[in-house]
Amino acid sequence: MRRLFRSLLAAWLWLHHKGAAIGRRRAAAVKLAELDERTLQDIGLEPWRSALGAEVALRRHASRRRLRAAYLGLW
Amino acid 40: pLDDT: 79
Model-level pTM greater than 0.75? no
* Alpha-carbon gap, residue 11 to 49, rounded angstroms: 38
Contact 56, 33 (CB under 8 A): yes
Contact 19, 32 (CB under 8 A): no
Instruction: Provide the residue ranges of all domains of the chain, joining segments of one domain with +.
Output: 2-71
* Alpha-carbon gap, residue 22 to 10, rounded angstroms: 19
Amino acid 12: pLDDT: 72
pLDDT tens for 17-69 read 666 666 666 677 777 777 777 887 887 878 888 887 888 888 888 888 887 78
* Alpha-carbon gap, residue 75 to 63, rounded angstroms: 12
Cβ neighbour number for residue 50 with a 10 Å cutoff? 12
